[in-house]
Structure 1
């Protein structure tokens, strides 16, 4: 599979996951919509991100997780507070 085709497949798959998450929320009555949850095992959050949520996505020293849910969108971000000590030990 060539590089452009792989890129297109990934983009279509990512778009399908986002569309499925939005459809899941829109199928609910307006008052029941939380705009946060899981779809195909991935977390999603379509609420307005706050600076605190954005910072916690990438720096959460209170969490042992390497990956944290995105502050906005579908999927995970890298918890640099957890990764940095591991990388320092590897040097």
Structure 2
């Protein structure tokens, strides 16, 4: 598979994941919609992001995880608190 085709396949797959989550929620009755969950094994959150959730996505010193769920959207963000803790231990 050439490079250009791989790029298009990845973009289409990512687009499908992003569209699938809200579509799944919209098929439910309004009172049953949470706008959070998992799609194809990835965490998803389509609630309005708050400053606290955005900060926790990138800085969660209470978590040992390198990757934390996105504050908005599908997938993971990098927990910089965990990364810096690991770097400090190496020194």
Gaps of 5+ in 1: none
Gaps of 5+ in 2: none
Q: Which residue of 1 aligns with 2:10?
A: 10
Q: Which residue of 2 aligns with 1:83?
A: 83
TM-score, with normalisation over the residues of structure 1?
0.90
2:38 match: secondary structure? strand
Q: Distance in 2 between matches of 1:35 and 1:19?
A: 12
Q: How many residues align?
A: 91
> 1:8 Cα shift?
1.4
TM-score, with normalisation over the residues of structure 2?
0.90
Provide Cα deviations, 1:3-62, integer angstroms capped at 9, x if missing partner: 332221111111111111112101100111110111111110001101111110000001
Task: Give the direction of change, closer, same or farther, for the CA distance of 1:2–1:90 in structure 2 (3 Å limit).
Answer: farther
